[in-house]
Structure 1
């Protein structure tokens, strides 16, 4: 076995025993490896390595258990792309074949067929001249005024009957006299005349004098009092 002086010798100094030193170094390496293996076998048999393994493994497992799991970040799904509807192409119209015109067979006229003369053309219709417009209707005549004739027969007038002349009674004179009287708006008679005579002057004059003394209801035109002529018949009859 080489000495310590020989091991610590500088490799730069040349010595005649260089190969033996290399051999010694190899022997040391082999011996160290063998010793390590022997030590490992002894440690396994004595349980030192198992304890070391048991002490190391729980620490690692505990470290793995204690270490909190990192939350998994789930990326949000991308929004769906908008669906773009493509315009559907319009169907093309189907071209239908045009019907082929059928030839028209013209029948030859039979020599025995009767000959029909073509109808004479109708004379042209002459448009009638429009009738002249009718003249406008004349305006309606105004309604005739409503006339109310005088009256002498009202009860409130108290007109007395005409007296019968005494001489006419003795003579037997009788007849009908129509006296035409002009009645004023105040109901008095201003004029009187014989329209139809009885044939006896005494009877006619008696009738005229009687109607001039009477009172009358004046005549009216459209409700307004108006002076007018009025015919009064008087009968002279013997009883």
Structure 2
């Protein structure tokens, strides 16, 4: 005789039981897998990380160029003092200002042209004095040089014996005659008549 065991569960109960069993199976399967993985060393290939480094260039304002180096001037060395001896005139002199105008240099003075007196031809015969009688008798001879001062009019203003003849009578005779009778063409300076000293020789000689 067939015995029938009735669990008392319907169709709905059976489905629930099956679901629980399947769930429990999966839980066990997962647990077993995790447990086995914890015991097995799985060699994983090394990971290569490639990092591309991109350099970022930031444009900045260019810095101004440094100022040029200034040359340091050499140290100032004062020039040596020069002492110049300047002769000092005793007479006071006026200080010359820088604005004083330069005076033109005067030309050198013109040389004065002098012309000596000359015997006036009209009075030439009167130049020889008379021979003193005593000197003629005694045989006194000689030459006397007279220095006479001739004025602008040609007349003798003064006179003196410059060189004696050796005989006073001859000297006196010549000088007296010159002051009384001699006439000259006057001496000149730059063409103008002037008073000037002039020398004249007078000779006394006894003839035959």
The interval holding the TM-score normalised by the smaller chain is 0.3 to 0.5
When the two structures are superposed, what TM-score results if normalisation uses the length of structure 1? 0.40
- More contact order relative to length (CA 8 Å, sep ≥ 6): 2
User: TM-score by structure 2 length?
Assistant: 0.46
Structure 1 or 2: larger helix share? 1
